[in-house]
Amino acid sequence: MVWPTLQERVVDEGVFGRVEYAVRSNGRMDVKKWLLKEADAKIASGFDYYFSQTCHDGRIINTNQFEKIQGVDGIYEFKKGAFRIFCYEHENPDLTKRWILVSVYRKGHLDQTREAEKAREAALAFLEREAGVEAGNDEENEGED
């Protein structure tokens, strides 16, 4: 697997941090695929607006559209209509934040807490893989120039 570049992963970036897609172990960015190919254009546009507000304003004015999931450390959800995107909030050493978009679900179709826990595990696995790639320890990319 070739690790996606930062440019391929970043949705938006501003003074308060950046929103980016999590990369799965198979190289897929599920949220990116959903937003670009499967989501209704109006829903995708609404999420893009929330991502921009988060990076550039440091908050979303309508706090009902971005909430922390109680009981699951670091997991928040962006909301638009019946759709939810789980993200993991990660603080960088420079005190800016990264909001890592992990998974999408439709309200009422899945158990929110269970899905939030799975999202947290996926986000932590992504951060671990990312650290390995940055340190040059990505076994899958060994020998590639």
Q: What is the pTM of this model?
A: 0.87
Q: Are strands 17-21 and 75-80 parallel, antiparallel or unpaired?
A: unpaired
Q: What is the mean pLDDT of residues 59-72?
A: 88
pLDDT digits (tens, 9 = 90+) for 120-140: 999 999 999 988 887 776 544
Distance from C-alpha of 106 to C-alpha of 104, rounded to nearest angstrom? 7
Residues 24-59: b if buried by 16+ CB within 10 A, e if exposed: beeeebbbbebbeeebeeebbebbeebbbbbbeeee
Q: What percent of the chain lies above the pLDDT cut of 70?
A: 94
Token pair for 131 = 């650290």
Determine how many CB atoms are found less than 10 A away from the CB of residue 68: 13
Domains of the chain: 6-135 (3.30.2310.20)
Q: What does the mean pLDDT of the chain come to? A: 89
Name residue 10's beta-bridge partners.
Answer: 20
pLDDT digits (tens, 9 = 90+) for 86-118: 999 998 877 789 999 999 999 887 788 899 999
Distance from C-alpha of 62 to C-alpha of 116, rounded to nearest angstrom? 21
Q: Per DSSP, which regions of 6-139 are E strands?
A: 10-14, 17-21, 66-68, 75-80, 83-91, 97-106
